[in-house]
Structure 1
Amino acid sequence: MTSPRPFDPQRALELAARTFEIEARALLGLAERQREGFPAAVQAMLECRGRVVVMGMGKSGHVGRKIAATLASTGTPAFFVHPAEASHGDLGMLIGGDVVLAISNSGEVDELAAILPAIRRLGVTIIGMTGKPGSTLARHSDHVLSCAVDQEACPLNLAPTASTTAQIALGDALAVALLDARGFREEDFARSHPGGSLGRKLLMHVRDLMRSGEAVPRVEAGASFSDVLREMTRKGLGFTALVDADGKPAGIFTDGDLRRLIERGADLRDLTAGDVMHTQPKQIPQDALAVDAAGLMEQHRITSVLAVDADGRLVGALNSNDLMRAKVI
């Protein structure tokens, strides 16, 4: 290894720009290389009765893991199998009806070439992603995807750079075509990402977060003003719901309303709940999405909403702190 040259920031920027330009050209050229192999590969994955098994060695293996993860998260069951481990038992992970997506830029990597005949004997469809249409991988494949690039971004034209970028992009293209063909929706994405922000927004309902039962501050509309204050103090949500004889919300009284009454010098002794409540309180079905409750609060500049059942009866209460704790907002 030769001694390093003095660091030149300008040269580093020039090499970065050159890398971006080469890889951008590689991606643009990739579209021109996709012919009947791409739609045939998508159709094979759509008709797959088992799983998509992704394989690759070295850098192609790292890309393969990413492709398998992207497919799995967008509606196509997939996992990665290391070719070297496959020849020592992991080939047993494959079953009839699977589709193998084998990735190799040269198409000649020994560990992958060695197991291709065994994979074919399993009756598994093989999709080869390679930069060499005449390679061993291409010859053993039912469908071939070209990931060929004119040059690597590496100044020596050796290190996999533009070629791995092309592989990643081609894997993304497969995933996008498949999710579109499957009619994959936001709700489906959320189900495979329950821990992410989208999952929380699309899977969490009001009933999952609301205070319910004795935790809901409520009094009858005819209750005394002192009963309203005691209930609001006990439950600590900064408001009390007022319900009619059927248990449906008739109004609401908040700590802000209390401050305004005191500022006006109102005589609080003879007031009833009905005298001070706001009618038509904001409410939301308990089966609504929590994100819809957040939108309702934001729209009306309030911090709490009442949750009701299908008959309109009060069953819960939800405030902005509940939504923040659940990371809905």
Structure 2
Amino acid sequence: MAVRPVPPVPSPEQPEQVADREETERLLAVVAERVDELRKQRFAGEDPVVVPKPVRRISEALREGAIVALVAERLGALLRFDEKLLAPAEDLARDELASAYRFLAVWDLRAAADALERAARLARFPENQQRVALGWALHRLVSDLLQLVPGEDGDRKKHRSLPAVRIVRDLLVTLDQLPSAERDFYAAEAERLGNAWREAAEDDRTWCVWALLRARVALIRGEGTETVLAWLLRLASRAGLDAPDDDPDGLGTLVRRARAVFALLAGTVEDEELRQLASAASPRDLFRALVAALTAAWGEDALTATHRFALALYVPETASPREAADG
């Protein structure tokens, strides 16, 4: 049984720090007002720089410094300080970029797009701006990987390979602020994913690995019961795992339940038994059963096999152990 940790009792020698609510709200109100002013300038097409207002007293200077730092951070704007321009939000831009790339590595396109949009608003250093551009190209690559069915697109000639592979390759040539090792890494990754997708168009087992990934992503995204079941039924059929059986909890029964869902939707047959089968259909149960069956048939973990369609992330050789773990 989990036990909620008891917060430590403040020591009499170190009294608890309590924020001044009134002064905090006053400071944040000033920050919000200046942010609104600068946003209006941006809307007019300007790129405003945050400049501290002149003050007379040291206490006012400290407060003004806090205000302009917060304003610049919230907007991703440049801050003028001692005749130099600073980018206080650049660390936040790097964090958003790292998050975006990690989301792409687990096929979470929506979260990756949100993080890339935030990074684009914050990034000021050229290398981070270029990583935003690369992130969008990789986003397109992962999207193509999931949306284009290997070997089954209507225009076979057009989609003999993933279109985004060329987009990534052509973009990388222009990213002159990134290390060559990083550019080479993602060029190789795009090529590797493109080759894996192309292999799935010609090899049944690789196609089944891709379809398992597609069903898994649909399940995680909550794309709907019918969508997940449709991918799982296609996978079961291609893998030869859709034969009926007498086990009430076996794979064959789970497949029958899934098929009943679509039989009712098509309106081809309608009876009480079919409705009962359809009502018992479970995408998660069928997914787990197929993973177990494929693992047994292939002699390797079926979910692990889907990682060949996952984007690997570049880790600089000089990265610390913690950075390598995060990447």
The TM-score normalised by the length of structure 1 is 0.28
Structure with the bigger percentage of helix: 2
Per chain length, whose mean CA-contact separation is higher, i.e. which structure has more relative contact order (CA < 8 Å, sep 6+)? 1
Q: Larger % of strand: which?
A: 1
Q: TM-score, normalised by structure 2?
A: 0.28
